[in-house]
Structure 1
Amino acid sequence: MTNLKTTKSEQTRNRLLTAASRIFAEKGFQEATIAEICEQAKANIASVNYHFRDKETLYLESWRFAFNQELDLYPPDGGLMDDASAEQRLAGRIKSLVRRMGDENSYSFAIIHKEMAQPTRLLADILEKEINPQRLQMFALLKECLGQAASERQIQYCHASIMGQCFQLLRLKHMQGARPFRSHPSDLSDIKAFAEHVVQFSLAGIQAIRSQTLN
């Protein structure tokens, strides 16, 4: 009997997290309501109080839930072995990132995008804890690709360039969602092609910087 109750409780919690991550991604923290989340999750408000205490905690936990689901679906290493070249491993990491951002059922980056537009500062600590390890791994790969002579500034600039290209995908998705019937100047609907472009563009830029550093 206890196991059955635990299972039902976990199912309710997961439904709340799934609904919350979707609604927070669509509306942001301020405009999302507990009532709407409960309606989509087929749960009552008491279950939110039981599992999360308040809206702020639900916000944090729904982001973490979405983020971990996306990492499971699209491993950040791109599924490559450790003995692959630095360029191959960087390409795999970029493709994983683009696929996570491009997936219609991925919500963690959409929540971050909303957070940037309407800051709550609630996510600051959790983002540092969860995303910083991914950032440091990218920095290490960039240093390998750029060469040991690369400066910290060059590494940071390359990282910013890659992330800027990836976040353009989110911006376009937001534009298309806000105005679905208006034509847009860019079509990034082919996620695989866009990921390949970001990889090619980034590796070519890194190679150019490496050549300048060696000369």
Structure 2
Amino acid sequence: MTDLKTKSALTRTRLLKAASRIFAQNGYQESTIAEICEQAKANIAAVNYHFGDKQTLYLEAWRYAFSEELSRYPADGGVPRQASPEQRLAGRIRSIIRRIAAEDSYSFAIIHKEIAQPTLLLSDILEKEINPQRQEMLVLLHECLGHNANEHLLHYCHASIMGQCFHVLRLKQLQIAQPNRTLVIESQYLEDFTNHVIEFSLAGIRAIQTQMLSQRYRA
């Protein structure tokens, strides 16, 4: 019985890995159960047994990819909670970029495809899984900017940081779209770019702090 359970669990994992990779490459509509099963070395009956249908497999594949990425690259970037807000923000930026860039990471690419070809299937799961990460970033930005920062400013700063991080996603999408082509994001480039995003973002925050202080004194 144990061997059967182990075999079943391994089959489920292979399906999730193959599905996350194929959904990231093709999007939901263009991905087929047949292709996923072929790459996972499983049959369609296994998909029906473990997931029931393509929609559920799509949701579970995204959740699996997201969970695996966070386990490898924790959201805090390994920076302790007692560190300064700026250091903790740097850790979060580093984690996001590493999760996007990793060769076997697919959750951001799946979201990118979802934005281009909406299915609305991920709406609930993104609210539950992504929104807490977003809220933690907003709280951290509030710490960095100070109590005078309003909600609009926090969202602008968040969008600015994420926009920079998504540059790596565009490079990654080229890699996923052409799997037979060698297109590797070099580690030194990634490190230099990550440091740039951190420095640029912190400089922007300092400039906004100066502006808010100046406006307060003028008032």
Does the alignment reach a TM-score above 0.5?
Answer: yes
Report matched runs for 1:49-198 at 5 Å: 49-175=48-174, 178=177, 189=186, 190-198=189-197
Query: 2: CA distance between counterparts of 1:5 and 1:45?
Result: 18
Q: Give the CA deviation at 1:174.
A: 2.3
Q: Partner of 1:184 in structure 2? A: none
Worse overlay, 171-180 or 44-53: 171-180
Secondary structure of the corresponding residue to residue 125 of structure 2: helix
1:22 matched to 2:21? The reply is yes
Query: 1: CA distance between counterparts of 2:44 and 2:102?
Result: 30
Secondary structure of the corresponding residue to residue 82 of structure 2: coil
Deviations 1:125-174 (A, max 9, x none): 00010001100000000000001111111100000000111112112332
Q: Partner of 2:217 in structure 1? A: none
Query: 1: CA distance between counterparts of 2:143 and 2:153?
Result: 12
Q: Residue 47 and residue 80 in structure 1: after superposition, are their counterparts in 2 closer, same or farther (change >3 A)?
A: same
Structure 2: unaligned runs, 5 residues or longer: 215-219
Deviations 1:24-64 (A, max 9, x none): 00011011110110011111000000000000000000000
Query: 1: CA distance between counterparts of 2:173 and 2:12?
Result: 28
Q: How many residues align?
A: 210
Query: 2: CA distance between counterparts of 1:61 and 1:120?
Result: 15
Q: Partner of 2:30 in structure 1? A: 31
Q: Give the CA deviation at 1:192.
A: 1.4
Q: Give the CA deviation at 1:203.
A: 0.5
